[in-house]
Amino acid sequence: WYRGYRLTGKSYRGDRAMPESGFDTTFRFGAFSGSTIDYAPVGLNSLLYRYALDLSAFARRLGERAAARRWAAAAAARKRAINTYLWNARLGQYTDYDFVTGKRSHYAFITTFYPLWAGVASRAQARAVRDNLPLFERKGGLATSDYASGAQWDAPFGWAPTNWLAVAGLEAYGYRAAARRIAGKFIATVNRGFAHQGVIREKYNMDTGSAHVRITAGYTQNEIGFGWTNGVYVKMAQLLAAHTGAR
């Protein structure tokens, strides 16, 4: 599997780059993300941290103790790197790191919540990220960023997977009221879209809390029957049901 543990935008197996985090058009890495290869992104590195933990657990169950230790060490190294390079204390957010210029990005993006989901953040860091919810929270849930570029992975648009990872991260650090509020908003958005159109969509407009999406930069379609929206809807409904009556 992966042999490179560097804090980069790609993981490598041999000479083939393998993308992991699934984002496409946004302006977080410059116009149309034209400088993507210059950045170590928060989302990807949070995912790779969790993958390393999972692989360590798999190896332990298989009795591969050396491999388990190797993956645990890789996870620990990535956690240190995330908190060294991607934590922006001045902003109270996890932001992407331009390793060409050696500077942290100031672009507010929903992946700031990923280290909470991954379990990388300290309590103080998680609290600071929680305090920045107003940058993203809208009528329909969490927008992907606070900048309306016209691209589908920027404001005012929101997606089920990113909303779920944010909700799960907030829940994991004890911010249950915030997690439930966002889950309720997103579920209501999907419900409104279904009531008006009779379908479930790929992405939604968080400003209006509806499925009315108009993209001007990048992929313009809003696909029907998207599996991740269905799955996240179920998970959020389960979370809300589990906390009914909870304080």
Give the rounded distance of the alpha carbon of 146 from its chain centre.
Answer: 14
Q: Which residues contact 50 (CB under 8 A, 6 or more apart)?
A: 118, 119
Catalytic annotation present for 202: yes
Judge whether 163 and 209 are in contact, CB under 8 Å: no
Q: Is 64 a catalytic residue?
A: no
Selecting among 96, 154, 171, 202, the annotated active-site residue is 202
- CA distances 121 to 68, 87, 225, Å, are 23, 9, 34
Residue 109 has φ and ψ, to the nearest 5°, of -140, 150
Q: Which of 15, 20, 24, 154 is catalytic?
A: 24
DSSP string covering 133-188, please?
GGGTEETTEE-SBS---SBTTSTTEEEHHHHHHHHHHHHHTT-HHHHHHHHHHHHH
Active site residues: 24, 202
